[in-house]
Every structure is written in C-alpha cells, then in structure tokens.
Structure 1
Amino acid sequence: MTSFTRPRGRRRLRAAAAAGLAFALGLTACSTGDGGLDQNISDDEQIVIGAEQEPDCADWIATCAANIWGSYTMRIPTLPRAFESRKTDGSWELVPSDLLTGEPRVAIAEGGKQTITYSINPEAQWSDGEPITGEDFVYTGLQIRDGDDIFDKSGYSLIESIDAPNERTAVVTLKTSTGSWKKLFSGDYSVLPSHILKSEDRAEMMKDGYDFSGGPWKIESWVKGVSVTLVPNDNYWGEKPKLKKVTFQFITDTAAAFLALKSGQVQALYPTPQLDAMSQIKAGVPNTNIDVDTDSGNLEALWINNAAFPFDSLAVRQAFAHSIDRPAIVERLYGQIGVEQVQQSFLTPLNGVYAREDFSRYTRDLEKVEDLMMDDGWRRNEEGIWEKNGKPAEFRITTQSGNQRRELAEQILQKQAGEAGFSMKIANVAGADLFSSVAPKGDFEVGLWTIIDTVPEPDLGSSFRSDAIPGDDNGFSGINFTRANIPGADGLLNTVARTTDDKERITKSHAAEKLIAEAVPGIPIDTVPNIVMTSSKVKGPVEVNPAEGPFWNLEAWTLD
C-alpha cells in the first residue's frame, strides 16, 4: 500500500507503498490475537481501522516522525493544538481549538516584532489531571527552536522569547512579524506536557510511545508490526469519544486490506490509490461507503536534486521537464476513478488561491529538448544518449520500493526519458531509508514521492528556501531535499511566510511560483485524491480533513 510523507513545517511526507516511515511504540501491549479487538467490549463499542503504514517514532518534533500516519493514528488524537483545520463557509481554515478560550491577541510593535498572547481554556488538562499551562507552550516552543534533530524549525526560529506570566497564559514574542503565526503549536506540531518531559530526555521518552494525553484519546498499546490501540481519555474536557476502543491495524498490502474490509475484520480504510485499489473502488465494495475527494492537500511530484549531475544544469532540468508527458501519466495512474488534472504548481488545492499554473509551460516537446540540450553543449552518443565532456546524461529515479503505482509511474517515465535521450535507472529503497537518510543527504538524482499540506497556509519556503537545505549547518533539519537555490526566491518566500497582509502574500507567492517554475527544482505531477472507505455500519461525520486526515473527528464516530 502506498502512503505519503510530508516534510514538516509546511507539509508532511507520505511515502509510497506508503509514506514509509515506521514508528515503534513500546507500551505494554494487550494483543488479543484478533487484530486488537477486546473481547470484554461489545462489537458496537469498538472498531478496527486498516493502517497502511507503521510510524518510525512518536517523538513528533524529531526527524524520525515525518510519516503522516503517525499523526493520523497517535498525535492528532492524543495531543492538543492551538489551532485546528476546520471547514468554514465551504473552505478549510485554521480556527482556535478548545485548548484556547478564543483567538489569541496579536500585536506588532514598532520595529516589526510580533507578540502573540494565548489564553488557555481553564478546563484544559492532561490525562493525569494536571492543568495545561503556559509552561507547556514555553517548553514545546523552545524544544523546537533550540533542539537538535528537529524536522523543521520554520516559524519557531523567529521566536525571541516565550513567557508564561500566569498558569493560563503564554506570550510568544517573534523577532519579526509573520502571517503564518497560526501554525505555531499547530499543524505538524502539538503542545507537549512540560511537567512530564522537562526533566527527561524527550526523544528517548517519546520515540516508542507515551501514556500521557491532552486529547480525546490515549494510546493504550503499540504492538510493533501489528497495531496501535486508542482508548478514551477520561480527563478530556471536550467531546468524549463514543467508542470505547479504536485499533489501527497495520496492513501494508492493498489486496489484504480490501479483503479485511470486505470480510468485516476492519471497518475503515484510508487507502492510497494503488492500481488494484482503484479498480476495486471503481467496481464498488459491498456494504461500504466510498468517498473520493480530488481537492486534497496531497501533491505527488518529481523532486530533482539540483546539486547532482546532470541536473546541476538548469538547461537539463528544463529539457527533462519537456521530455515528460504528464497528462498521459495521470490518465494511466488515476483515470479509473476520473482523476485527469495535471498539477501545475507545488501548492495544492488546499492553498490554491496562492498558486499559479506556471508549470503548464512544460509539455512534452522533443524538439525543445533538442534545442535546450544542444545549446547547453550536449551531443548524442552512439546509444542516442545525451553526452557532455565524456559524461552521459544518466541518473537514478528513487522512490519507496514495493509501491506498484509508483513503480508503474517510474516505468512510464523511464520510457519517456529514454525517447528524449536520457538514461534513467530505477533505484528504489526501503521506506525507512528514503526520508531518514537518502533524501536528507541528497543521495538521489530524481525522487518520486508525495508531500502533504498540513495546514491551509501557503508555505513553499520550507521546500525551496536555500536555508532549508539539510546539512551539517542545520543538523539536517531542513526539507529542501532538492538542494534548490533559486535567485530571488528566498526573499519572496520569506515575505509570504511573514507578512500579515494577505494581498501581499498572494502577490509574492505568485512571484515566487514564477521563479520556481523557471528554475525547475522539481516537476509537479498530480494531486493525489483522498479516498476514505467505511463499513456501512460506521456512523457519524465521516469526512476527510485535507490537513488532518480522515480520523480527525474519530471521537464522534459510532457503530450501528
């Protein structure tokens, strides 16, 4: 089964065959041998959900926690956030969560410093009964700003100070104003309990799971390679779960997952659209509700290592973009479920108002390939492959091994690139390696993976700013895996992130989009649709939240 991975700060990675990063939680397991069902709880009080990936760790601010399935199964259900993505007048927006009493007070001082004052709900408490306080904001913010092995410090690097003037107040002072301030303590990150973690090694204590909670659910167990089980947090101050237990059973094979759904062993799936999954979805599954949402926050793209030969040449990147027939790829991969739209921006429909369609200039044009390559000093060798200074235009394409849909895409791309004079070799790796070492260290020429917008806020900066290139200087915490250094883009992207004037954000974002398309740090292919499948017995407001996934309101689900 496939999945996505989203780099944090802006997006999480969902790797193919699933986003492929696996978490390991070492809580006391209560395996029942039947996928996690508790025989002491009636069948109308518990459900099993098929999960196509197992996370790598549960230390949510560390680089090991890039896998989106970790957020779906554990972080979002168990930890509080300042803002949540909720639908307002038909569009998804960031709104204050029940952790806060309402909108924070925001002030911009002379000189540009921005102060954000959070007022914490007096009823908010951790599962051990201790109140959630301003000190929890202080602890969390400084762990991200000052810590090592942090996936993305975007926004947090602007923090000048965080104070807790009283138990129910947190005051964050930023060195400069930012229009993206709502992403602090939200999106990919959640508030952590200072009273539990401040004297501990956070990474060591959380990586294999935790028994505290500030959300509607608690982690009861994580059986490695088998399942994660959630139970209600009795001390949650908001809406209490209606189910007594939810088990996420790891089923990484698409066919096995569909069989489990048909047989009633699982009651819900959130499958990545693999080839065999799409054919079954088209045919329909008995007693199953299927929702396909094409306006997702999931962007699948080719990510080009701009520092690696032969793509250290702009002309080669542009020529490669003209060698690809993207509409044919999208039709072959998703035509069965009616998805035909080629993505022309690195911003997804979730942030479409900030996007342009500048990549529409790159259509398959072999004459254009010839002109670009020859003008750059390349000539065809005896095998018909472009060559320059004795070096052929050879490169690897890398994704997570075992993903049939991605492997088919690679085969199509390999044929198209070969016809254009490029020698493309498929060199896939294990999912656990793709985002933990291969991409951060730049050990690839072209990567194929999906990135997910996790908040309805535009931020291409974490993917394309030059200071987000992972390396020794930043502890490999950046997610500019393409090593892109686009003249003029950094300033525009920083303005998009920092300005509080939305019109200016749109203008600067459009300008940045144009520069990115000219530089071709990668090539967007399509928006991967969200597909949620639930047994007809599942009741409640089942709907995919493009930022928080399909299980964002799990506490409201029931069984008939």
Structure 2
Amino acid sequence: MLVTTRSRAVKLGAFVAGAALLLSACGGGGGNSAVQTGQAFADCDANPNTCNSAQADQLQDGGDVTYVLEKNVPNWNVVSAEGNVFETGEVTKGILPYTFYATPDLKPVLNKDFVESADVTSTNPQVITYKINPKAVWSDGTPFSADDFIYNWKTQNGKDCKDCAAASTSGYDQVSSVVGSDGGKTVTATFSKPFTDWRQLWSSSGAMYPAHLAAQHGDTTTPAGLAASFKWFGTTVPTWSGGPWKISKFVNNQSVTMVPNDKFWGTKPKLASVIFRVITDATQEPTALQNNEVQAIYPQPQVDLVNQVKNMPNISSYIGLGLQWEHFDLNLKSKALGDKALRQALFTAVNRKDMIAKTVGQFTDKVQPLNNHNFMPQQAGYKDVISSTGQGTGDIEKAKKILTDAGYKINGTQLMDPSGAAIAPLRIRYTVGNQIRQNECELFAQAAAQLGVKVNVSSTDDLGTTTTTGDYDIIVFAWVSSPFVFGGAVQNWTTDQGNNYGKYSNPQVDSLIGQANAETDQTKASDLLNQADQLMANDAYVLPLYQKPTFLAASDKIANLRNNSTLDGPVYNMAEWGIRK
C-alpha cells in the first residue's frame, strides 16, 4: 500500500502500497463517477478496463506525452518505507517487473510479460510455483531468474536483513524458503503458514529489483550486504530496467523522462517518450494542460481545478472512486496523544459529513463517510466499525464528556490533563499545495479548539520523510491500495510494521490480523479482520474520512489512457498509450 501526496499506502507505497485477495467489486469497480466531461472517458463507468481504447493501427508511431507528477522522487526504492510513495510507484511502474497488478475494476491480474503462471501447487504446506517468462531479461541482457525473487524476499522478510527498512514484511515473513529450478526459470515459494494474499508477493504493490545489480553493491549473502544494496537502490537513479520503459533523464525536482526499453521482449510502446513533469502546486496543473505543456494530469481534485478543466476544449476528464481513502492519523509517540481518551474525544469532535460538504462534496455528490480501515464499499467484507464509536460525528458534548470522565478539565480555552497540566499545542500536517487537505486540517483545528486543544496547521513537501520520521502529531493523507486487503492490514496496523507510522500497537489486533492473514477461507478472514478493525476503531488511532475521489484529465488525442483508482494508477498500462492519428 502506498501513501499519496495527492493526498497516496504505496504509500505503495498512501506508495502504498498493500492490500486484498481477489474480492468482488460491484458498481463497475473503479466507477461511480460524479463528473465526466468530454468524450474520451464517456464509457469508463460501464467499461472501466477498456474505455478510451484504440487499436495499434489507429495510433501514430512515436510522439511524446507529458504526465504530471505531483511530487519529486527523493528515494527510488519503492519497497522501502521511505520510498513507498505513490509518485515513486508511478515512475517505477514502467521499469520494475512484478507478478500481479490491479486493473481499473479493482481486480488483480497476472503479469504474463514477467511470469507465465503463478499457481498454488500445495496447500499443506502452502506452496506457490511461479514460471518465469523465458524471454524476460533485464535491460543489460541478464535473464530474470529465481535469484531476483530470492533477493527481494530476503530484503523484505524482516529476518535476513534487519537493517532493510522495508515498507512491509507482510507475507514475506511467512515464506520459509524460495528455491529456483529449471535453470532459475521456475520459482517455488514455500510458506511456514498460509498467506491469504499470496498474490501480493512480488506484485506491483512492491515489484522487484535486480539481484545481479544488488550483488555489485553489497554481499547479498550477508545482512550488511543486503542492507547496502537496498540503500543503493534508494539513492541511485535507475539506469537499468525490467519493463517496457527505461529512464533516459532525471532532472531533480523537474522531470523524469522515460523512453522505450529496446531490450523489452513484449509488445513495444508506441510512444517515443513519456515525460513525468514535477508540478507540486496542483493549481498550476490546469494551466499547463490548457497550454499543452502537459497532456495528462492526475491531481487530487479541488473545486476550482475541476471547474477549470470542465470548460477546456479537446480535454476529457473523469472522477472515480476506488481503493484510495483519506484519513487523519495520530502519532501515538506524541505525549498527549498516548492517552486514548484524548484521541477518542478529538475524533468525536470531527464532523466528517460537514468536512466532506466543505471539501470534495463541492464537486461530487458520491462521497460519503468511510467506516472501515481496510475494505472499500465496493468490496466484499465491508462493515461499518466507526459509527458505533461516535467518532466523526462532530458531537462536541459527547467529546467533552469523554474527557471529563477521564479526569480532564477545560479551563476556559485550555484543556488540562488529569494531573492538572495544560495540554501543549499539537501540530497537524498536510501536503503542500493541497487546498482540500489544508481545509481539512483547519476544520480539525477548529473542532479541537472547542475542546481546549490548540492545533497548529503546517504543510510538508516530503510526505515520505515526514511520516517515516514521525515529524507530526496529526497528519492527513490518503492510502492508495492494491486489491490485497489482508496483507495491507498487516503492513499498516500491526506492531512495528513499516507503514505503521504512528506506532500503534495492540496485541489483540496483531493476533486477529495475523489469523486473518493466514486464513484461506475468505469469509472467515474478512470476519477476523473486521474484529481487529473494531478494536482499532475503539482505540482511535486512525479516523477514516472518505473514499477518495480520483481525477484524471487528458487530451482527447491520447488513447488507452484511463482512470485506475488503485496504487497502480493510470500508468498501469503506459506501454499501450498512444496518440491518435
């Protein structure tokens, strides 16, 4: 699961990214658009996987497309805690190999360019056997092999490399062995206990880095060598590729230029290049689109931004709902927020319906308060675990009662803790340039003020570093998920996991999520996960706000580009993009 600054849990990563075995998606999966303009995306609600299509003979040979990236890429290792950011996932999608990816209907699909098959070949113990595409090679000609699976397993299993700060060890820590055969083209992964979301492993929610290059930057048979290579992948701009694209140029804080990988064995891209242009101020994106400086934007929708794009000629736009969700997170290492009563009171004081009406409700009427931390309403397993807590209702009197029952006192405009000490001001953070997030933070601060708690609002231009270092008391962002709910829950909510930024820990929650993650019966797994989620909701660690709308706007000339409200994003099929003749 990636975290997003358009906000994300990616981080793949919002970069996200985490989350669910194949779950049923109703209502057209990534559909439910409330705004659709132009003709290119007209049938995306009904046909999310095929809308805006064109055959290869209808496309020009060559051409360039510039796509806006809302954040710079400071770390190139998308499976690391720091690099697991949505924008990094977008850029690396075209160069990293992976076993499964998510399509716009929110379902996982096997990436046959990389693996011809991935099958459960035993259930006791659970064994997954992968057959690598024999044509698959890294851009230097080195064939893909079991070594790549083994290296990426070791850096993420939490055992072989304690100093590899992986975004998640979920699932990898349940693999007891990874063995190659058939000259390294068959990979056999054996599990110490079943893993519900086995499709998540080595998938696009993390993807794979080349073992042979890792070995040049550390002895990958030792923990220190694994850590050194893992760090090198984060600090070094990739000149290598294992996908249809390769990076030809990176200008820090400006752009990333991708060109076709001439060593790619599958269908070659039609475009000559895709340029990811870094624009961190979303208000500048419509102008860039109108002036044809960029041809596609994927910002967090803002009222003015959506309205500007609506009236542009030869531009189509689409709003959808999928596996992205907005939330407030608390840092439990913050002295005051270590107390559950204060956390519960703050979340109870927040009025989610009012917040939605004053933010995303300005441009879509489809968004409602979200009442689960793992499942989206389109997914089987969705259950309301929030309403019973009273959180998100804006009930100030109830919030005050929670505090007074716990021994707090409100002295004028200042809340005093049970010892008589004043609650120090708290700091809430959001991504710079995001007006909706800024508004959400200000509304949170206004609610807290009614309880005698001062909350100062400040922005960050590096969400990955801010979250991983815990440089906040409260923060708002969005997780962008894959369809793998159970593995994502481990990644986000269990003790000491990479995406558990606020350091939440509840042994009962850990146990229930662990059971869900090892349960092969989908219904039982969902029930266990919802039991854990109810406990976590009661603990008031994260308040889900709403299923986050995604907004894609692009030139009508670009074919095969479409919304994908998962951590894979619109770039999931970038090799198919082209310019209409």
How far apart in 2 are the matches of 1:128 and 1:338? 48
Quick one: which amino acid aligns to residue 495 of structure 1?
A: Q
Tell me the CA shift for residue 559 of structure 1: 1.0
Distance 1:313 1:184, change over 3 A: same
1:142 to 146, 154, 158: 154
Distance 1:441 1:47, change over 3 A: closer
2:71 to 28, 43, 53: 53
Structure 1 contact 344–360 (Cα < 8 Å) conserved: yes
Partner of 2:500: 480
Distance 1:62 1:300, change over 3 A: same
How far apart in 2 are the matches of 1:205 and 1:485? 30
Tell me the CA shift for residue 326 of structure 1: 0.8
How far apart in 1 are the matches of 2:329 and 2:274? 36
Q: Which secondary structure state, in structure 1, belongs to the residue aligned with residue 445 of structure 2? A: helix
Distance 1:96 1:273, change over 3 A: same
2:514 to 494, 502, 506: 494
Quick one: which amino acid aligns to residue 99 of structure 2?
A: A
Mark the runs of 5 or more structure 2 residues left unpaired by the alignment: 18-59, 219-228
How far apart in 2 are the matches of 1:353 and 1:347? 11
Structure 2 contact 516–529 (Cα < 8 Å) conserved: yes
How far apart in 2 are the matches of 1:8 and 1:430? 15
Say yes or no: does 1:265 pair with 2:276.
no
Partner of 2:224: none
Distance 1:350 1:174, change over 3 A: farther
2:354 to 319, 324, 328: 328
Partner of 1:187: 204
Partner of 2:96: 79
Tell me the CA shift for residue 323 of structure 1: 0.8
How far apart in 2 are the matches of 1:139 and 1:554? 27
Distance 1:292 1:286, change over 3 A: same
1:44-95: CA deviation from partner (whole Å, max 9, x where unpaired): 621111221111121233233122111112x2111110112236xx552343
Quick one: which amino acid aligns to residue 409 of structure 2?
A: R
How far apart in 2 are the matches of 1:178 and 1:456? 11
Distance 1:341 1:555, change over 3 A: same
Tell me the CA shift for residue 256 of structure 1: 2.2
Structure 2 contact 12–481 (Cα < 8 Å) conserved: no
Counting only pairs closer than 5 Å after superposition, residues 94-493 of structure 1 correspond to structure 2 as 94-109=109-124, 113-145=125-157, 146-147=160-161, 148-166=164-182, 167-201=184-218, 202=229, 203-204=231-232, 207-281=235-309, 283-293=310-320, 295-339=321-365, 340-349=367-376, 352-361=379-388, 362=391, 363-383=393-413, 385-394=415-424, 395-426=426-457, 428-432=458-462, 434-436=463-465, 438-458=466-486, 459-468=488-497, 478-493=498-513
Partner of 1:31: none
Mark the runs of 5 or more structure 1 residues left unpaired by the alignment: 15-41, 469-477
Q: Which secondary structure state, in structure 1, belongs to the residue aligned with residue 332 of structure 2? A: coil
Q: Which secondary structure state, in structure 2, belongs to the residue aligned with residue 358 of structure 1? A: coil
How far apart in 1 are the matches of 2:375 and 2:120? 30
Q: TM-score of the superposition, structure 2-length normalised?
A: 0.83
Partner of 1:12: 15
- Give the share of equivalent positions with the same residue, in percent: 24
How far apart in 1 are the matches of 2:280 and 2:190? 44
What do you get for the CA RMSD once the two structures are aligned?
2.4
Say yes or no: does 1:534 pair with 2:559.
no
Quick one: which amino acid aligns to residue 151 of structure 1?
A: A
For this pair of structures, how many residues does the alignment match?
A: 513
1:221-271: CA deviation from partner (whole Å, max 9, x where unpaired): 111122111111122222211111111111222232211100111111111
Tell me the CA shift for residue 386 of structure 1: 4.5
How far apart in 1 are the matches of 2:16 and 2:291? 31
How far apart in 1 are the matches of 2:298 and 2:252? 20
